[in-house]
Amino acid sequence: MEIKVLEKKENELVFTISGIDEVFANTLRRLIVSEVPTLAIETVTFTKNNSPLYDEIIAHRLGLVPIKTDLKSYNLYDPEKKKSPTNQLNLTLEVKGPGTVTAGDLKSQDPKCIPVYPELTITELLKDQKLTLEAEAVLNKGKVHMKFSPGLVYYKHYPEISSKNHETLIKKLPEDLFKLEGKKITIKDLNKIDAAEKHLLDNKAEVNYAKDKFIFFIESWGQLSPKVMLNKALEILDDKLTEFEKKLEKAK
């Protein structure tokens, strides 16, 4: 297996991975989206709400606010366990109008776990209107509810361009996207693979896709970094394989 990082930003990671098949690639994608946990608001208790929005609408909006997550400090949500600082995060909000209520108005008991985008609008308040509430965030998985999903993940098979008239073809393709290396045409920037594939299709170029090499795109919503998302997914996969091995031994 070989991994090569193509682009790394705060909330984006693009890399190529070779030596795997589509089953493993899709397993990795599903684990990141569905199994890597994050914090999200689960319950909201209102003390005062005379804003234009019903309690249910505000609660729904709060549930979709991405919260920075510290996986080392919180345990996965278990309704059977008593509430404690390790299985829930308490937040409060108290705002008086006039003005806009934003995610940044939420006060977290844990300074490490705060809204990722404080400018997100929750509601508007007119003069003397108030919104006061308490919220509880828990650590859970995207397969339970998508509000717990850490981000967007997708992959593409690595493209291999073949052409008998490569010198003629390269002249028709944009210089900022393609380059000629000997008798082989390659894509300069695989981050722009969608645009590159369109140009190849328009010029009726022959493109073969490697079965054991993929381009992975990970975009975080901000709760976790893409690197943490990837490492956690691999850790979960390892745990699942260990559990499967143990159960297989018992079944013999």
Q: Per residue in 185-233, pLDDT tens?
A: 888 888 888 888 888 888 777 788 889 999 999 999 999 999 999 999 9
Q: Which alpha helices (DSSP H) does the chain contain, by range?
A: 22-34, 55-63, 166-172, 193-202, 226-251
User: Is beta strand 184-187 parallel, antiparallel or unpaired with respect to 178-181?
Assistant: antiparallel
- 113 and 66 in one domain? yes
- 43 and 107 in one domain? yes
Q: Quick check: is 230 in a domain? A: no
pLDDT at 108: 97
Percent with pLDDT over 70 in the chain: 99
| Boundary residue ending a domain (119, 144, 169) | 144
- At 99-132, the pLDDT tens digits run 999 999 999 999 999 999 999 999 999 999 999 9
Q: Quick check: is 44 in a domain? A: yes
Residue 164, pLDDT > 80, answer no
| Boundary residue ending a domain (116, 144, 172) | 144
The half-sphere exposure of 67 on its side-chain side, counting CA atoms within 13 A, is: 36
Residue 162, pLDDT > 80, answer no
Within 8 A by CB and 6+ apart from 153, the residues are 28, 29, 32, 33, 216, 217, 218, 219, 229
Torsion of CA 230, 233, 237, 238, to 10 degrees: 70
Residue 42, pLDDT > 80, answer yes
Range scoring the smallest mean pLDDT among 13-22, 90-99, 188-197? 188-197
Residue 101: domain span: 39-144
Please choose, from the candidates 39, 34, 75, 71, the residue with its C-alpha nearest in 3D space to the C-alpha of residue 237.
Answer: 34
Residue 234, pLDDT > 90, answer yes
Residue 34, pLDDT > 90, answer yes
Distance CA 250, CA 78 (A): 27
Q: What is the amino acid identity at position 53?
A: L
Residue 167, pLDDT > 80, answer no
Q: Quick check: is 239 in a domain? A: no
CATH code at 161? 3.30.1360.10
Distance CA 28, CA 44 (A): 33
The residue with greater pLDDT, 117 or 168, is 117
Phi/psi at 33 (nearest 5 deg)? -70, -40
Which run of H or of E encompasses 110? none
Range scoring the smallest mean pLDDT among 48-57, 114-123, 135-144, 158-167? 158-167
For 54-92, b/e burial (b = at least 16 CB within 10 A) is eeeebbebbbebbbbbebeebeebeeeeeeeeebbbebe
**For the purposes of burial, counting CB atoms within 10 Å of the CB of 98, is it exposed (0-12), middle (13-18) or buried (19 or more)?**
exposed
CATH code at 136? 2.170.120.12
Which DSSP string corresponds to 190-221?
GGGHHHHHHHHHHTT-EEEEEEEEEEEEEEE-
pLDDT at 83: 82
| Boundary residue ending a domain (144, 162, 193) | 144
- 85 and 175 in one domain? no
Q: What global pTM score does this model have? A: 0.87
Q: Quick check: is 168 in a domain? A: yes
Residue 137, pLDDT > 90, answer yes
Please choose, from the candidates 194, 171, 188, 150, the residue with its C-alpha nearest in 3D space to the C-alpha of residue 32.
Answer: 150
Q: What is the amino acid identity at position 142?
A: G
- 208 and 121 in one domain? no
pLDDT at 75: 94
Q: State the average pLDDT for the chain.
A: 92
